Amino acid sequence: MTRFGVSMEVNLLEKFDELIHQKGYTNRSEAIRDLIRKEIVEQEWESEEAEVIGTLTIVYNHETRELSDKLTELQHEWYHQIVSSMHVHIDRHNCLEVIVVRGKANLIRSLSEKIISVRGVKHGKLTMTSTGKQL
């Protein structure tokens, strides 16, 4: 660990303190470290080379014709990038699937878009994070 001083306007620091208090931080140092990590992680998502990891969450009606087959086919096509998945039967018709994905950011984005755009997928959301190696 190393220490460094930061100069800023009183107003800005007050706002920062208020914000981190609301978020539950007990000290500024951890809040600042997390802000820096967030920037590094988001920069990884823009990089051509960095490996990212994340989850793709989709909701669909399993009764939609050919949907289950199509989803299985796509997941087999991307088997290098798809690490695991969890299936939840929400009710008689709707399913939730959480798919863990890992690979180059561009590839992860495009496979997510392919899956989300399949007919019958009602909602989908990709959440990317970091493998943690660079942090």
| 20, containing H or E segment | helix 10-23
C-alpha dist (Å) from residue 68 to 74, 99, 115 = 10, 14, 11
CA gyration radius, the chain: 20
Q: Is 33 in the site for Ni ion (CB under 5 A)?
A: no
DSSP helix/strand/coil, 111: helix
Between 44 and 97, name the residue whose CB sits nearer to Ni ion. 97
CB closer to Ni ion, 19 vs 90: 90
For Ni ion, which is the closer residue by CB, 52 or 95? 95
Q: 52, 58, 71, 95: which one contacts Ni ion (CB under 5 A)? A: 95
Instruction: Name the minimum Å distance from CB 120 to Ni ion.
Output: 13
The residue with its CB nearest to Ni ion is 95
| Helix 105-116 × helix 28-46 angle, to 10° | 80
For Ni ion, the binding residues (CB under 5 A) are 89, 95
